[in-house]
Amino acid sequence: MKILVVDDSATMRRILVNSLQRSGFTDCVEATDGRDALDRFDPSIQFVITDWNMPNMSGVELARALRQHPDGKHVPILMVTTRSVKEDIIAAIQAGVNNYVVKPFTPQVLKDKIDAVLSGMTAAA
Amino acid sequence: MSAGMREPSELLYDSEATLRLVDKAILDMGALDADEPKVDPTRSGMALLQCDTRQPSGLTEISEHLTRGYAGILGVVDSLRQSRRHLERATVDNLKHTNDKLREVSDATESAATDILNGLDNLTSSLDALDTCAQERPEPDARAAKIRGTMREELFTLVGHMQFQDITSQQLHYASAVICDMEARLAQLARVFDPAAFGAAASPEATPLASDSANTFDPHASTHNRAARQAVADEIIAESLAAS
């Protein structure tokens, strides 16, 4: 499965990719913000993991944009962010985010949420 | 008309003369150079006022009042100039220095985090190499493979702990943004204290953080209560799924 990892922090992208590879997701594409992610997005991307706070285009804006994108309507989106206020989480869901991981995360939580989103997609399909 | 009362034309004449004196004194104040030290009132306004003591009686008293008032105003203006200089010094020098230091710390932690992650990757590669060696030539002690496995898990955990860098970086960005905001407010306040801007100066207004800058960090970013915060997110996601 090809995963698009979006975070403006190089450290976080590296940690995410490291965790994903340990969980067996070896095909990862990195983007530095929402706009960069949209540029790199194509039909081969099967999962998007995005941060919220980023320059140029935030993770929530990216989620909205992907839901308007012809190839992004149904792509699973996992938000990985420090933001944990209830209103923020609701706003993310309304923007089209499928699940939510609060930083700092454990690799197990990340894997569980990816599995939960994928199983939800399978159930819906 | 009583004896104590004056003809309207006389009163008008006196008032006009007084207003001219006041006008001249105000013009003198406006022409003061910002860097000029304290002005001796006897050199300008006071001298001007005193030389006109030939005016009809009553004006002398007004002149003295005006002279005292004028000297007082000059003192206030000088104090305002000093206050402005102090504010500018605090704004330009101290806050900028603090902000630069915060950015320096943020850059340093990012650089250090990259170095540490490189080191952890190298160690993981070394463990992979040891595993390859063990496959080629069986080890005399079976515990070696287990120890390598433990080391690999420890390294993986350490990589995860490096998330602190992203969180502290956001906290530093927030502190930096607050300082920038404070700097802008103090600069506005300094402008209010500028005697040259009297009449034109507005009261200090809040300067919102630059939108793009504010979008790159979470002001509430924290490493604390991770599990509790994740539980809140899980609950909301579960409610959302149940509702859909």
Confirm if B165 and B110 have CB atoms less than 8 A apart.
Answer: yes
User: Tell me: the pLDDT tens digits for B77-123?
Assistant: 888 788 778 777 777 778 888 888 998 998 999 999 999 999 999 99
User: Tell me: the pLDDT tens digits for B208-242?
Assistant: 445 446 678 998 899 899 999 999 999 999 999 88
ipTM: 0.90
User: Per the CB < 8 Å rule, is B237 touching A89?
Assistant: yes
How far is Cα B102 from Cα A124, in angstroms, rounded to an integer?
A: 48
User: Per the CB < 8 Å rule, is A104 touching B226?
Assistant: yes
More confident residue, B45 or B226: B226
Q: In A, which residues are within 8 Å of B212 by CB distance?
A: 55-56
**What pTM did the predictor assign?**
0.72
How far is Cα B145 from Cα A11, in angstroms, rounded to an integer?
A: 30
Q: In B, which residues are within 8 Å of A99 by CB distance?
A: 237
How far is Cα A117 from Cα A123, in angstroms, rounded to an integer?
A: 10
How far is Cα B222 from Cα B170, in angstroms, rounded to an integer?
A: 9
- What's the gap in Å between the CA of B216 and the closest CA on chain A? 4
User: Per the CB < 8 Å rule, is A54 touching B215?
Assistant: yes
B94: amino acid identity, one letter: N
How far is Cα B240 from Cα B232, in angstroms, rounded to an integer?
A: 12
Helical ranges in chain B per DSSP H: 8-30, 45-50, 59-88, 96-136, 143-161, 163-192, 211-214, 226-243
More confident residue, B169 or B1: B169
Whole-number pLDDT of residue A96: 97
Cβ atoms < 10 Å from Cβ of B2:
5
Judged against a pLDDT cut of 90, whether residue B148 lies above it is answered with yes
Give Cβ neighbours of residue B152 (< 8 Å, ≥ 6 apart).
B124, B127
Cβ atoms < 10 Å from Cβ of B48:
18
Q: In A, which residues are within 8 Å of B241 by CB distance?
A: 120
Instruction: Give A14's pLDDT tier (boundaries 50, 70, 90).
Output: very high
Helix/strand/coil percent split, chain A, to 5: 45, 20, 35
Whole-number pLDDT of residue B3: 43
User: Tell me: the pLDDT tens digits for B52-67?
Assistant: 555 556 777 888 888 8
Give burial (CB, 10 Å; 0-12/13-18/19+) of A43: exposed
Supply φ then ψ for residue B199, to 5 degrees. Answer: 95, -30
Structure tokens at B189: 């306040």
More confident residue, B96 or B145: B145
Give chain B's end-to-end CA distance (angstroms, integer). 94
Confirm if A33 and A56 have CB atoms less than 8 A apart.
Answer: yes
Judged against a pLDDT cut of 80, whether residue B2 lies above it is answered with no
Confirm if B232 and B177 have CB atoms less than 8 A apart.
Answer: no
Whole-number pLDDT of residue B15: 64
How far is Cα B159 from Cα A63, in angstroms, rounded to an integer?
A: 28
Rg, C-alpha atoms of chain B: 37
B117 CB within 8 Å of a chain A CB: yes
Whole-number pLDDT of residue B62: 82
Give Cβ neighbours of residue A118 (< 8 Å, ≥ 6 apart).
A47, A76
User: How long, in residues, is chain B?
Assistant: 244
Strands A99-102 vs A77-81: parallel, antiparallel or unpaired: parallel
Whole-number pLDDT of residue B211: 45
Whole-number pLDDT of residue B80: 79
How far is Cα A27 from Cα A21, in angstroms, rounded to an integer?
A: 8
B110 CB within 8 Å of a chain A CB: yes
Strands A27-31 vs A2-6: parallel, antiparallel or unpaired: parallel
